[in-house]
Amino acid sequence: MAGDHLEVLTALDVAKTQLYHFKAIVIAGMGFFTDAYDLFCISLITKLLGRIYYYQEGSDRPGSLPPNVAAAVNGVAFCGTLSGQLFFGWLGDKMGRKRVYGMTLVIMVVCSIASGLSFGSSATGTMATLCFFRFWLGFGIGGDYPLSATIMSEYANKKTRGAFIAAVFSMQGFGILAGGIVAIVVSAAFNNVYHALPFAQDPRGSTVPQADYVWRIILMFGAVPAALTYYWRMKMPETARYTALVAKNAKLAAADMSKVLNVELVEEQEKVERITKKDNNSFGLFSKEFARRHGLHLLGTTSTWFLLDIAFYSQNLFQKDIFSAIGWIPKASTMSAIEEVYRIARAQTLIALCGTVPGYWFTVGLIDIIGRFTIQLMGFFFMTVFMLALAIPYNHWTHSHIGFVVMYGLTFFFANFGPNSTTFIVPAEIFPARLRSTCHGISAACGKAGAIIGSFGFLYAAQNQDSTKTDKGYPPGIGVRNSLFVLAVCNVLGFFFTFLVPESKGRSLEDLSGENEQVEQTDQERPPITFHM
């Protein structure tokens, strides 16, 4: 497409990979590292919370969180994340990426520490305080999604942009891994000093008073990486695309990027004024013009992220079955409270190391070679295949644990080498600069709505149809096998909604969003939106 091209943006598009790219990946990635640590470390300590606060004297089994409390403790951060994605996504387009980026980090540091200091004179009071701070922690985490993706996309060159954004997102895998490692170290250290007998031998003594410090330390450690990156986040200049196309300050954009790229760039204020005054660069989010140009794009990014997260987060349902089947986690009654934390952390760390992290890095290595569209389509296809391979012969897998573990691991692998990465990347590339952070926030929030359904709707749905075989406190559901069929349908729908999302490999952000189109073009002359068929 012919049109106006700002020299500063062209310089970013064609810049060779250099040190500032890697600095941006580390700075933005450490935020995502912290996000993943904070969101996923809660699953390591929920059983410990049940033992400490909900043990009933004389019971023949360790204490466990009631279903409503478990749902609140695990889900409240997701609710906060959804809210934060919408709010900070919008704010990032209004106030600038850099300024809002610092706000989210401060919230994350403060609320990570506060979560570990949760107080109360009763179990209900402590859990309520924990949920309060976990909500606001999630709120800060939510802001990191649109801001990290948008900042990285606007800094990157067009040749390797996908790999850079994927590298930022891949830090989520290392955050999950770090959560497991911290839990292993803390629980092993406490278990060594305050060793206790298994629950079966000493029900009350199996949970030592010092166990209350274990979960608090694990939660508070999430503040460390966030605090360490605050200085560098504040030192990053605002992205040139925001400064030039949204703030309309060509002089500052050229000055900032001259320092970053180590080249002399010309100030083009007249061209900035001309570009930003075009009709195709002034429509709003709720306008007919946005709906015509990007409505199907937004439907594609929101629906695929929503459907992916239903399937992705529901996979956690089967971890307890796998861990127990292969002997990684013995029966709760054969362990003390702190030893149980150690065993759970070790098992989840191995899953992250073998399935989660490799999938992310396959995406980093191949996304700018085979493209976002192909990876997302392939991911949804193989997730469907492996879900059906688990569901159809489900009774067989209950007797063949190794096969179940392999299928489960491959489903995780193709989620990460697939739509779990691409749904994060594409919304940061295909929308106009003035709406980019907002649209990414909307897409991410729809994903988090899917995560809430996947984590908690299926927690109830997957319960045994026989009321005598359900987990304690839960009503009968449709069973694991039927739940797997439902998740396979979600993946099939995600496969077809992917056709609404355009391929963005190797193209300038301004070309993708239409910001470079000539204003003189009529509707008949303007190239139509194209989709993969």
What is the value of pTM for the model shown? 0.89
Query: Is residue 56 included in any domain, yes or no?
Result: yes
Q: How far, in Å, CA of 412 to CA of 16, rounded?
A: 33
**Spatial CB neighbours of 98, under 8 Å, sequence gap ≥ 6:** 151, 233, 234, 236, 237, 238, 239
Interior/surface letters 388-414, b for 16+ CB within 10 angstroms, e for the rest: bbbbeebeebeeeeeebbebbbbbbbb
Query: Is residue 264 included in any domain, yes or no?
Result: yes
Query: Is residue 519 included in any domain, yes or no?
Result: no
Question: How many structural domains are present in the chain?
Answer: 1
Query: Is residue 93 included in any domain, yes or no?
Result: yes
Query: Is residue 528 included in any domain, yes or no?
Result: no
Q: DSSP letters along 242-296, please?
A: IIIIIS--HHHHHHHHHHHHTS-----HHHHHHHHTSGGGT--TTSHHHHHHHHH
pLDDT digits (tens, 9 = 90+) for 95-111: 988 889 889 989 999 99
Query: Is residue 523 included in any domain, yes or no?
Result: no
Query: Is residue 532 included in any domain, yes or no?
Result: no
Give the dihedral sign, CA 199/37/215/104.
negative
Residue of 357, 359, 412, 361 whose CA lies nearest to 383: 412
Domain that holds residue 72: 16-271+287-512
Q: Return the ∠ at Cα 369 (arms to 16 and 495), rounded to 5°.
A: 135
CATH of residue 85's domain is 1.20.1250.20
CB 268 within 8 A of CB 254: yes
pLDDT digits (tens, 9 = 90+) for 44-103: 898 899 999 998 888 888 888 888 888 888 889 999 999 999 999 999 999 988 889 889
Query: Is residue 210 included in any domain, yes or no?
Result: yes
pLDDT, one tens digit for every residue, the chain (533 residues)? 445 678 888 888 888 888 888 888 888 888 889 888 988 888 889 889 999 999 888 888 888 888 888 888 888 999 999 999 999 999 999 998 888 988 998 999 999 999 999 888 788 999 999 999 999 999 999 999 999 999 999 989 989 999 999 999 999 889 989 999 999 999 999 999 998 999 999 988 899 999 999 999 999 999 998 888 888 888 888 898 999 889 889 899 889 888 888 888 888 888 888 887 776 777 889 999 999 999 999 999 999 999 999 988 887 655 655 566 556 678 888 999 999 999 989 888 887 887 778 888 999 999 999 999 999 999 999 999 998 988 888 777 767 667 777 787 788 889 999 999 999 999 999 999 999 999 999 999 999 999 988 877 777 777 777 777 776 677 787 877 888 888 999 999 999 999 999 999 989 998 888 877 654 443 444 444 444 44
